[in-house]
């Protein structure tokens, strides 16, 4: 706590400010066409050469001395607004910016201010707007957010079809995925082929890989902050798409005389319907589909108060004699309030739930039914304070209550029933934070903050105490202790400093550096190559310590070309991780009351360099990204206690994304990816026991080989329909080809006995997508 | 078993993916003594097989380990000497008529001396339940278990109740026309008649286990005979066989990190660098069968 008080002392002079007569201009910046808030739009005071940017809620505030000024409002791809003002009182000014009616030479793909990558203090951050994502050739023609993110520097995946993504050598469970501030516990549909985010409902995507600001916490590797559209507040808008695998529909419209608006967007897949004629026997009744519904509504109470309600509901359904389904449900209620002109408060109440069900047989007779879920409830008041043009202060509180249901399972046979359920678990995770973004002179910006997190593993529950054993073997239970409801079983407290600095080297280049510590109290229990929908989230307990990560990063950012046509950056990072969960050989992770006896704890490290070159303007645009990185861990009990590469380690990772707009109607896109093969453990010997040939590694090595490299090329073409007089709707076709040169990329190599001749053993290359996949989709809007 | 079954469902239903046998060059590790000692109460010779581990792709039976001295001693002092009569690595003990190796709940110590090193392992003999019947039907009942293959033919099931009043572990072994189903994917293990976890004491073996004696894609045809053994195993053997199953069927999207399976036969000199691999289990075996007509 001492450190926090210190920080407040440090901030105090900033808060008091200078005793000069100052007034504040504040308000919201919106899109003139649909009323969407423009996140990151800038306000420049010409005479002072200084300015500010709208926050994630579209709100800005700037305090300057009395006087006459010219202010310029800017948002890339939009026509700037210039306004003369006489400042002798506090002003409330909302602005609506109109999109440029572009000619092709001027096409701009990023919605950022053109030099934002240099001028902002934030580093290790990638933003993708939905227009960019829509241009990337997609699997089965379906635009996907998570798959697009995997083309950015520092981001990779263990393989095609694996759910989630790895950021700078972190695990898939180390990314905090937020959909309108609600945590999403499983971001995948169809295992990992599609993500849960409906592109029609997404406004803005931001991935933070390093220099993580103090307002974010709870995961150690990265933050994926997905913001939903508010809904068109000017007129009814309908977007729809028909594809090979699923169809989408979204409706947005103003309500309550323009004081509010809503968006509702849905998708449903119909693979099972299409596949039906080709299936035989029992499989005729097979179900495999997914659907999701994303909705948001907002209402402006008055110029000081706005309220928002957003939610997501999605489910994957499988069945063929058995039932298997899983899905997320989230809900966010948000209230934003402006105190005076300089203090902005956003309060969110958040609900998130992930659950799955697996069942077969006739209930009560010969059956098995298994349910598991994680539910979280959060409250999050967040203040933004704009004391003067030099400082932007954020402070707030976050508190989340978790209810874990690791497994409710009932088996019955011959009329007898057996309940093998595990007890629920509970935890409370809270944090207070404060941070300041401070401009010093014209060239330097600091962002410094502190987050104090407190975690309690709560009753009602049982504390399991295990005996020590040789690392790598199952720990034996020594004793247990039960706790009543709300009793604290085990608390943890952590101080997480966050720091970033930016220094302009020239008009068009800057250097940035950052350090951050992050803590993670929830862990996804999974030792499979790709995480499965059955993986269970578990809280930190007396046996499972919170994960900690320290990361330092250093970057150089340079723009060049006419009008900053090219952006480039080089970043290096080094990460140290503590209390990484691993598993004893042949651990039993599901429905195991004594799971903690099968867990190991180790250290991790990841380091690398990321090179990024992006052409943001012109008919021909796109980016090239190259990551050179290592990710390793050391766990007593694995690999003879020596460091070994993580399963998703890839030394080289290259992505090339290119778009070419031939004319106003036709554009082409392509992307190429190349990555080093992931490590794998191969046997050295065979053991013959009872007719089985068991692979054996006499050196007890982990990840001693590598599977061949991954590379793939995808292409697509987008054709806009001719505009016709009097026709109210517009549409476009997307033709795409995935895996153009039919590469059989190995996902893994495994070993088995030959089915027909069990004495013979063989190595098997396993490919998830082993063919060219062409697709077509039609999209329209009115 | 439970985990594997579920993951199997996951992978089979949607992602059979695309598999191709390829050539991989592997380093060969140190050759070790492998002890395969699964013994039961049946008449006729009981066999312990000793081999030397060979390179993983050495596609021939592993070389025999000959010249070892092999014996089992029970906690009542009975000594059973196993001898390699044919010098082929099969160390055999044959009971005299009416005698048996297995006395329920006795503990047994296996001792193998090979190349001057002695290895020891132990096991307790558990009972196995009677198999009331083995039956077959032309088609699987709908809504049953995870076997969703569309193959047509005859499918067999066995009926038996777990021994009540104690925790039991079983390995259900199936022979079609006298040939053991040695495909690891068909390994059928049970705790108290259910998969695992306990609480099912005295259960009728649950449906997915009853049905698992016929591989879903290889139904029986008229004239086939099916024999089912329920072999009593120790809790440690149950985990060991689960490891074997895991490590021999570890492919696909949801593979776990490959790991060596356990071994319960250790060098009595803890400082020796020579280690053996393998497993020792002794237990009762019940059997029943049927012929499809």
Tell me the per-residue pLDDT of B41-83, one tens digit each, with 9 for 90 and over. Answer: 988 889 999 999 999 998 888 899 999 999 999 999 999 999 9
Residue A687 has pLDDT above 50, yes or no: yes
Window 239-268 of B, Cβ < 8 Å to A: 239, 242-244, 246-262
CB-CB contact of A651 with A630 (8 Å): yes
pLDDT class for A101, splitting at 50, 70, 90?
Answer: low
Q: Considering chain B, what percentage of its residues have pLDDT values greater than 90?
A: 55
Residues of chain A contacting residue B34, judged by C-beta atoms under 8 Å apart: 687-689
Q: What is the pTM of this model?
A: 0.86
Comparing CB atoms, the residue among A321, A702, A703 nearest residue B142 is A321
The predicted pLDDT at position B151 comes to: 57
**Is the CB of residue A592 less than 8 Å from the CB of residue A556?**
no
For residue A165, pLDDT over 90 is answered with yes
Range of A16-20, A227-231, B152-156 with top mean pLDDT: A227-231
Instruction: Using the predicted structure, report yes or no on whether residue A527 has a pLDDT greater than 60.
Output: yes
pLDDT over 80 (residue A285)? no
Across the interface, do A763 and B23 touch by the CB < 8 Å criterion?
yes
Provide mean pLDDT across the span A54-71: 86
- Of all residues in chain B, the one with the smallest CA distance to A589 is B3
**Cα separation of B87 and A520, whole Å?**
60
Is residue B144 predicted with pLDDT exceeding 80? no
Q: Do A414 and B58 touch (CB under 8 A)?
A: no
Do residue B53 and residue A420 have CB atoms under 8 angstroms apart? Answer: no
pLDDT tier for residue B218 given thresholds of 50, 70 and 90:
confident
Question: Do A686 and B56 make contact, defined as CB atoms within 8 angstroms?
Answer: yes
Q: According to the model, what pLDDT value does residue B8 have?
A: 45
| Residue A124 scores a pLDDT above 80 | yes
Q: Kindly tell me if the per-residue pLDDT of B179 is higher than 60.
A: yes
Q: Which chain B residues contact residue A369 at CB under 8 A?
A: none
Give the pLDDT score at A113: 53
Reply yes or no on whether the pLDDT at A275 is more than 70.
no
* Ranges A476-480, A750-754, B209-213, most confident: A476-480
Q: Is the pLDDT of residue A442 over 90?
A: no
- Separation of alpha carbons A202 and A195, rounded Å: 12
Query: Beta strand A237-242 with A773-781: parallel, antiparallel or unpaired?
Result: antiparallel
Averaged pLDDT, A46-65: 84
Suggest the residue from A371, A689, A768, A772 to mutate for an interface test with chain B (most B CBs closer than 10 A).
A689
Give the integer Cα–Cα distance in Å for A154 and A221.
Answer: 11
Q: How many CB atoms lie within 10 A of CB B41?
A: 20
- Which residue from B179, B51, B47, B147 is spatially nearest to A757, judged by alpha carbons? B179
The pLDDT of A593-597, averaged and rounded, is 93
Computed over every residue of chain B, the mean pLDDT equals 86
Chain A nearest CA to B164, separation (Å): 13
Is the CB of residue A331 less than 8 Å from the CB of residue A341?
A: no
Q: Which residues of A touch B180 (CB under 8 A)?
A: 691
Exposure class string for A553-580: b at 16+ Cβ within 10 A, else e? bbbebbbeeeebbbbbbbbebebebbbb
Encoding tokens for residue A704? 């001693």
pLDDT score recorded for residue B146: 42
pLDDT for residue A374 = 96
pLDDT of residue A280: 57
Q: Tens of pLDDT along A714-738?
A: 999 999 888 778 788 889 999 999 9
- On whether ipTM exceeds 0.85, the answer is yes
Output the pLDDT for position B99.
87
Lowest mean pLDDT among A100-104, A572-576, A645-649, B30-34: A100-104
Is A143 within 8 Å of A199 (Cβ atoms)? yes
Q: Taking each helix axis from N to C terminus, what angle separates B2-14 and B235-248, rounded to the nearest 10 degrees?
A: 20
Provide the pLDDT for residue B18. 80
Q: What is the mean pLDDT of chain A?
A: 88
Closest CB to B254 among A280, A528, A687: A528
Q: List chain B residues with CB under 8 Å of A689.
A: 34, 36, 244, 278-279
Beta-carbon-side half-sphere exposure of residue B14 (alpha carbons within 13 Å): 21
Distance of CA A224 to the CA centre of its chain: 3
**Residues A586 and A598 sit within 8 Å (Cβ to Cβ):** no
Average pLDDT over residues A105-134: 70
CA distances (Å), origin A548, targets A492, A518, A605, A714: 12, 6, 11, 38
What pLDDT score was predicted for residue B2? 40
pLDDT of A56 strictly over 50: yes
User: Among partner residues A591, A694, A767, which is closest to B248 by beta-carbon distance?
Assistant: A694
pLDDT band, residue B143 (cuts 50/70/90): very low
Nearest-angstrom CA–CA distance, B175 and B214: 10
Q: How far apart are CA A559 and CA A564, in angstroms?
A: 5
Residue A276: the pLDDT is 67
The DSSP letter of residue A140 is G
Query: Contact at 8 Å (CB) between A197 and A146?
Result: yes
Extract the tokens encoding A620: 């021909």
Please state, in angstroms and rounded to a whole number, the distance separating the CA atoms of residues A666 and A402: 50
User: Which tokens is A444 given?
Assistant: 């330097």
Give me the pLDDT at residue A363, please.
65
Average pLDDT over residues A299-308: 91
Q: Is the pLDDT of residue A425 over 50?
A: yes
Which of B 171-190 lie inside 8 A of A, CB atoms?
A: 180, 182-184
Lookup: tokens for A406: 């690791």
Instruction: Write down the pLDDT at residue A565.
Output: 86
């Amino acid at each position: 706590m001492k450190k926090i008080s210190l920080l407040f002392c440090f901030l105090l002079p900033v808060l008091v400010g200078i005793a000069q007569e100052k007034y504040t201009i504040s308000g919201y910046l919106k899109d003139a066409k649909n009323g969407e808030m423009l996140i990151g739009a800038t306000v420049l005071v010409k005479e002072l050469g200084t300015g500010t940017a709208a926050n994630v809620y579209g709100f800005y505030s700037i305090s300057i001395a009395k006087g006459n000024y010219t202010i310029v409002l800017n948002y890339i791809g939009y026509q700037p607004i210039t306004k003369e003002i006489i400042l002798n009182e506090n002003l409330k000014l909302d602005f609506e910016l109109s999109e440029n009616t572009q000619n092709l030479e001027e096409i701009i793909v990023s919605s950022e201010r053109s030099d934002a990558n240099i001028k902002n203090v934030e580093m290790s951050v990638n933003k993708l707007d939905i227009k960019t994502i829509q241009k990337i050739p997609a699997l089965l023609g379906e635009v996907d957010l998570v798959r697009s993110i995997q083309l950015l520097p520092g981001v990779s995946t263990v393989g095609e079809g694996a759910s989630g993504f790895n950021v700078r050598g972190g695990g898939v469970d180390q990314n905090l995925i937020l959909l309108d501030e609600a945590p999403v516990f499983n971001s995948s549909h169809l295992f990992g082929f599609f993500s849960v985010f409906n592109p029609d409902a997404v406004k803005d995507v931001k991935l933070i890989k390093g220099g993580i600001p103090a307002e974010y916490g709870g995961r150690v590797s990265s933050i994926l902050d997905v913001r939903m559209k508010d809904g068109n507040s000017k007129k009814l808008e309908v977007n729809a798409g028909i594809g090979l695998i699923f169809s989408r529909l979204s409706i947005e419209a103003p309500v309550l005389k323009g004081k509010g608006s809503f968006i509702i967007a849905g998708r449903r897949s119909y693979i099972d319907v299409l596949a039906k004629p080709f299936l035989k026997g029992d499989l005729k009744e097979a179900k495999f589909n997914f659907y999701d519904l994303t909705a948001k509504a907002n209402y402006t109470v008055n110029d000081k108060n706005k309220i928002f309600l957003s939610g997501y509901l999605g489910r994957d359904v499988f069945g063929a004699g058995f039932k298997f389904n899983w899905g997320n449900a989230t809900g966010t209620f948000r209230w934003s309030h402006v105190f005076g002109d300089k203090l902005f408060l956003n309060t969110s109440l958040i609900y998130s739930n992930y659950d799955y069900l697996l069942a077969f047989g006739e209930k009560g007779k010969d059956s098995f039914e298994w349910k598991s879920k994680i539910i979280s409830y959060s409250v999050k008041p967040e203040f933004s304070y704009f004391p003067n043009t030099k400082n932007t202060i954020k402070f707030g509180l976050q508190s989340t209550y978790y209810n874990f249901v690791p497994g409710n399972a009932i088996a019955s046979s011959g009329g007898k029933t057996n309940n093998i359920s595990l007890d629920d678990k509970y935890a409370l995770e809270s944090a207070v934070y404060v941070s300041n973004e401070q401009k010093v002179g014209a060239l330097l910006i600091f962002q410094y903050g502190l987050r104090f997190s407190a975690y309690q593993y709560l009753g009602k529950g049982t504390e399991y105490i295990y005996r020590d054993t040789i690392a790598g073997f199952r720990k034996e239970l020594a004793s247990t202790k039960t706790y009543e409801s709300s009793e604290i079983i085990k608390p943890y407290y952590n101080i997480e400093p966050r720091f970033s600095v930016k220094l302009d080297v020239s008009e068009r280049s800057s250097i940035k550096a950052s350090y951050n510590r992050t803590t993670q109290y929830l862990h996804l229990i999974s030792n499979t190559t790709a995480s499965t929908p059955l993986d269970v989230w578990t809280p930190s307990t007396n046996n499972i310590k919170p994960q900690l990560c320290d990361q330092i990063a250093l970057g150089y950012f340079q723009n060049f070309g006419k009008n900053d046509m090219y952006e480039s950056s080089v970043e290096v990072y080094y990460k140290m991780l503590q209390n990484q969960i691993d598993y004893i050989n042949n651990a039993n992770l599901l429905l195991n009351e004594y799971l903690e006896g099968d867990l190991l704890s180790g250290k991790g490290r990841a380091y690398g360099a990321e090179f990024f070159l992006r052409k943001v303007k012109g008919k021909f645009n796109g980016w090239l990204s190259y990551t050179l990185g290592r990710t390793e861990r050391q766990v007593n009990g694995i690999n003879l206690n020596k460091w070994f590469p993580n399963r998703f380690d890839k030394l080289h990772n290259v992505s090339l994304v290119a778009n070419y707009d031939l004319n106003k109607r036709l554009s082409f896109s392509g992307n190429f990816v190349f990555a080093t093969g992931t490590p794998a453990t191969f046997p050295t010997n065979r053991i013959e026991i009872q007719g089985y040939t068991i692979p054996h590694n006499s050196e007890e090595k982990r990840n001693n080989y590598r599977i061949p490299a991954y590379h793939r090329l995808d292409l697509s073409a987008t054709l806009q329909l001719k505009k016709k007089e009097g026709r109210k709707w517009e549409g476009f076709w997307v033709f795409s080809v995935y895996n153009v040169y039919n590469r059989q990329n190995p996902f893994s190599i495994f070993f088995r006995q030959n089915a027909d001749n069990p004495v013979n053993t063989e190595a098997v290359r396993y490919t998830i997508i082993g063919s060219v996949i062409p697709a077509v989709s039609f999209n329209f809007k009115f | 078993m439970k985990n594997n079954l579920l993951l199997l469902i996951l992978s089979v239903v949607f992602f059979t993916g695309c598999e191709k046998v390829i050539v991989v060059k592997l380093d060969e590790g140190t050759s070790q003594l492998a002890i395969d000692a699964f013994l039961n109460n049946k008449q006729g010779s009981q066999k312990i097989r000793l081999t030397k581990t060979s390179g993983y792709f050495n596609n021939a039976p592993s070389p025999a380990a000959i010249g070892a001295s092999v014996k089992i001693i029970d906690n009542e002092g009975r000594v059973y000497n196993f001898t390699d009569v044919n010098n082929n690595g099969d160390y055999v003990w044959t009971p005299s008529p009416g005698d048996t190796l297995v006395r329920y709940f006795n503990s047994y110590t296996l001792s193998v001396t090979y190349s001057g090193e002695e290895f020891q392992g132990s096991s307790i003999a558990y009972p196995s339940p009677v198999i009331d019947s083995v039956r077959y039907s032309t088609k699987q009942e709908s809504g049953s278990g995870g076997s969703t293959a569309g193959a047509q033919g005859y499918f067999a099931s066995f009926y038996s109740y777990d021994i009540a009043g104690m925790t039991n572990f079983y390995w259900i072994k199936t022979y079609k026309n006298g040939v053991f189903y040695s495909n690891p994917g068909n390994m059928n293990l049970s705790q108290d008649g259910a998969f695992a976890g306990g609480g099912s004491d005295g259960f009728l073996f649950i449906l997915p286990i009853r049905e698992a004696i016929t591989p879903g894609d290889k139904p029986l045809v008229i004239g086939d005979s099916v024999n089912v053994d329920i072999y009593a195993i120790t809790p440690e053997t149950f985990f060991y066989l689960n490891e074997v199953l895991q490590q021999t069927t570890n492919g696909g999207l949801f593979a776990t990190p490959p790991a060596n399976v356990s071994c319960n036969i250790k060098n009595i000199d803890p400082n020796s660098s020579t280690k053996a691999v393998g497993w020792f289990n002794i237990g009762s075996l019940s059997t029943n069968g049927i012929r499809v007509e």
